[in-house]
Structure 1
């Protein structure tokens, strides 16, 4: 397991590349190495690489190949006339803490890959050829993309096609531009989770929308904020699809614009559409389809949603379908349903127990107040973090181990290390290069600090010490965060620990 360093400003491809003072200069040099499981490639912050980075080798599940960054300052940037990062057939890859911009193709392209994680990657102005999504995965398995930002790209923000097990978590897409562009498109994929994303097509020049799901199987779309576009979620066809607890608004431009639509490109079965706040648009939920289509639309349940400020009905059903529209809240002035007479006569789509209110915001606020009054107040699970110190000698060559959380506490007796420095600690941990050494941490708070004595200043008689500090953040496994704290490493050059 080797760490390779790449610095476009100070490196040289004639160097060995295994420490910061002998960093490589180019990504093409890294491509020639034959990376092995557990290897890491760290790009110097502040570096700019004008080349496509091809990942040709695979890690293992327990020892993935990692592409990340080191140092201080702005994230390293990859520019390319082709793709930013490109890979075929590689497995067990982690890409994190980078920026990719001004690429002709995709910022990240993976085809026939397995077990990829992309996290905390910023993407801007990719897809100048308009032929690809900013992040594209095809014919792959186990792909997770999280905590990443995509802005002002040409083509879809995400293009996911024929991927088994895909998680798109806590990402931001702002303005995916182009005549066929959506913020996020997922085609012919299974076990899909789209959660916690903020997708905004308000100022995009695309006539399309925010999320497209085509022929999805076992998909969950929840807790997202979706704004703008010609539609919110177009779940055109699929089976076992849950669309819940999303905020969908600002979808305008067409008489057919909808917050949630299905039935236009295939059969749809077992849809649960619930808990969404749908507002400032045209149609609410559209159970529809292309003229002349004979797709099967069965067991479509639309319940416990809130609809307000719509120019059309909260529910539209104009193709043969079975399902129900129940227990929804609809603001006065919004038509509740628009259901074709033939479907009404067939008694296959029931409507019951829906509520009309004069003002949605007032009603919701009242409901929340009543709920709070009848429920025991939640105990804030406080997290207390205590400052940590590590004292080492300059002659201590081995890594020094400790745990950042052993002196911290929380009310529920659970602690997780979430951030270290300015980066997120993922499930595989995080390696950070400091001023005098390298430290690796994991989510359980364990750390290993290895001193690099070549970085120490010349103290003459070595009377004294130097130090460096790392900030970290914890939580209790939920949303209760503790105060940020620090680990300070004291490096004594006089051979005495005081």
Structure 2
């Protein structure tokens, strides 16, 4: 197991490459090596490589070949007129802690590859408009992309095709540009987990959407924030698909724009769509197909325990033959609950039951949290969400806001938290500003806050400190679990008024 070092500034291809002071200079020199399982290739931070890296050799299970970085400073950058990293048939590869920018082709392209992990990689301004993704994997198995950032690329942010075993975890993917670009597209793949990602197409010059799954089998899409685009999730022709606990919003642009849709390109079976917050868009969950399309089967589509608000269309639209149910959902008044064709209503194949119409979704959620808090003395605390007391101590002040985050020390079982109430007011999608006893505070749903002290409100001639309290309420992604606590702001007068 050998470690090879590459430094574009101080290295030389005449070196051995096996020491910090004997680093190679180019990626082409690395390509001349016959890498073996367990070997590592580390690129010096601060280096820039204007060439494509071809990965030709395979690692082994438990002993992958790793490509990463060393040293201090900015991540090493790969530029290339072609692909940034290109590989065919290699297996057991790890790529981590590097940046790929302005690649003329894909940032990463893997064909017929298996057991790859792409971790903590930054990609920007790469890819080709009108072609598939900036990060592309075609044919293989066990591909993981995690904790990476993909932004401002041309073509889809990520393109996955014919892969068995896909994990897309905790990535940020924003603004994938091009006439055919989605944030993420997966075709003909199976055993898929898409978890904890933030995918945003709000400012992309693409007419398409955020996440497209074509013919997925055994797919779970959970706890993601999906924003913008012509649509949120297009999950067509799937089998055993769970879409749960996501926040989907901003899907505008067309009369048909939707948060979640299925039924257009093939048979769809066993969908569980639950616990999502679907808001600020056109249609909610749509089961449909173009007029004149083949007669596909759409069976066991279960839509339940979701929250729908600020929609111009209905929360549920079913206008093609389908079986399933729409139950125990919360729909804000002003949003139509269902739009189901008369033929399907007459066939009694898609049932509607136990849904709740509320005047204000957020106020209702927070009221439920208050009820739970009131009953806490009579029942065990709900451990699924835990809020912890927060303190802000102001020792000096220059007039600038004092920042913090209320959710940093809080926790939830599903890993997702939102600030829903602050100081007995609802925290809306644009945040909330309150005036306190000694200053003004602005909070956002992600828990971030900025407190600006108003020294004209401080008592004259006093020493010691003053304080004020703000109560707050949090929920998990589903809104079914909640907790409350308090932020205390301490202002030390001695240091401010001396």
Aligning the two structures, in what range does the TM-score lie when normalised by the shorter sequence? 0.7 to 0.9
Look up the SS of the partner of 1:139 in the other structure: strand
The offset of 1:83, in angstroms, is 0.6
Find the aligned partners of 1:129 and 1:311 in 2 and give their Cα distance: 31
Look up the SS of the partner of 2:237 in the other structure: strand
Find the aligned partners of 2:129 and 2:353 in 1 and give their Cα distance: 50
With structure 1 as the length reference, what TM-score do the two structures score?
0.75
The offset of 1:104, in angstroms, is 1.1
List per-residue Cα deviations over 1:82-107 (Å, max 9, x = no partner).
11001000000000000001011110
Kindly indicate whether the alpha-carbon contact (under 8 Å) linking 2:130 and 2:179 is maintained by their aligned counterparts in 1.
no
Say yes or no: does 1:104 pair with 2:109. no
Closer, same or farther: CA 311–34 of 1 in aligned 2, 3 Å: same
The offset of 1:292, in angstroms, is 1.8
Look up the SS of the partner of 2:346 in the other structure: helix
Kindly indicate whether the alpha-carbon contact (under 8 Å) linking 1:104 and 1:129 is maintained by their aligned counterparts in 2.
no
Q: What is the correspondence of 1:5-20 to structure 2 with a 5 Å cutoff?
A: 5-20=5-20
Say yes or no: does 1:68 pair with 2:55. no
Find the aligned partners of 2:85 and 2:102 in 1 and give their Cα distance: 12
Q: What is the correspondence of 1:213-362 to structure 2 with a 5 Å cutoff?
A: 213-293=213-293, 294-362=295-363
The offset of 1:368, in angstroms, is 2.7
The offset of 1:366, in angstroms, is 1.6
Kindly indicate whether the alpha-carbon contact (under 8 Å) linking 2:131 and 2:180 is maintained by their aligned counterparts in 1.
no
Kindly indicate whether the alpha-carbon contact (under 8 Å) linking 2:129 and 2:179 is maintained by their aligned counterparts in 1.
no
Closer, same or farther: CA 124–316 of 1 in aligned 2, 3 Å: same
Find the aligned partners of 1:67 and 1:254 in 2 and give their Cα distance: 43
The offset of 1:137, in angstroms, is 0.4
The offset of 1:352, in angstroms, is 0.5
Find the aligned partners of 1:132 and 1:366 in 2 and give their Cα distance: 46
With structure 2 as the length reference, what TM-score do the two structures score?
0.75
Kindly indicate whether the alpha-carbon contact (under 8 Å) linking 2:155 and 2:176 is maintained by their aligned counterparts in 1.
yes
The offset of 1:129, in angstroms, is 5.2
List per-residue Cα deviations over 1:427-455 (Å, max 9, x = no partner).
xxxxxxxxxxxxxxxxxxxxxxxxxxxxx
Unaligned 5+ segments in structure 2 are: 389-498
Residue 399 (structure 2) aligns with: none
Question: Among residues 356, 360, 376, which one is paired with 2:381 in the alignment?
Answer: 376
Find the aligned partners of 1:113 and 1:381 in 2 and give their Cα distance: 44
CA RMSD of aligned residues (A): 1.4
List per-residue Cα deviations over 1:101-156 (Å, max 9, x = no partner).
10111101111111000000000000145423111000010000000000000100
The offset of 1:264, in angstroms, is 1.1
Find the aligned partners of 1:275 and 1:183 in 2 and give their Cα distance: 22
Kindly indicate whether the alpha-carbon contact (under 8 Å) linking 1:212 and 1:234 is maintained by their aligned counterparts in 2.
yes
Find the aligned partners of 1:199 and 1:20 in 2 and give their Cα distance: 38
Residue 144 (structure 1) aligns with: 144
The offset of 1:236, in angstroms, is 1.3
Kindly indicate whether the alpha-carbon contact (under 8 Å) linking 1:178 and 1:206 is maintained by their aligned counterparts in 2.
yes
Q: What is the correspondence of 1:80-91 to structure 2 with a 5 Å cutoff?
A: 80-91=80-91
Find the aligned partners of 1:121 and 1:139 in 2 and give their Cα distance: 22
Find the aligned partners of 1:329 and 1:37 in 2 and give their Cα distance: 53
Look up the SS of the partner of 1:363 in the other structure: helix
Kindly indicate whether the alpha-carbon contact (under 8 Å) linking 2:212 and 2:233 is maintained by their aligned counterparts in 1.
yes
